[in-house]
Amino acid sequence: MKNQGFTLIELMLVVIIIGALVAMVMPRLTGRGEQARISAAKADLQANIATALKLYELDNGNFPSTEEGLNALLNKPASAANWNGPYLEKKPIDPWGREYKYKSPGEHRPDYDLYSLGKDGQEGTADDVKNWE
């Protein structure tokens, strides 16, 4: 019976092929994580938190004040006479691990401004994700 196994050359060929495949695929995947975080933040701002704020406004006749913040969606504030919450299951945290920023009335929209500071955590920079753009 012949000795069965792979030669060093065959193994090297497989390693080179795998390396070439990784070299072709990796550039396409880099940056996707950040794009996914931005998309998740936009979904929170435009759908998840926005819906909770609209429900709060329907029940109480106004949006939570800046001082009450998004916490008013989880715990009844003193100013909410018809609060039927909680409107969210958990505290809204952006994909970078920070709380979303909320102002009502808004500076950019008449009802409220809702935004994330993005990757750099600095307000007013290009990577901010906002509900008014």
Residue pLDDT, tens place only, 95-128: 999 999 999 999 999 999 999 999 999 988 998 9
- The pTM for the full model equals 0.74
**35-76+90-133: which CATH architecture?**
2-Layer Sandwich (3.30)
The domains of the chain are located at: 35-76+90-133
Residue 65 dihedral angles phi and psi, to the nearest 5°: -70, 165
Burial call 41-74: b when 16+ CB within 10 Å, e when fewer: beebbeeebeebbeebeeebeebbeeebbbebbb
Residues in the chain: 133
Within 1-133, strands assigned E span: 101-103, 113-116, 129-130
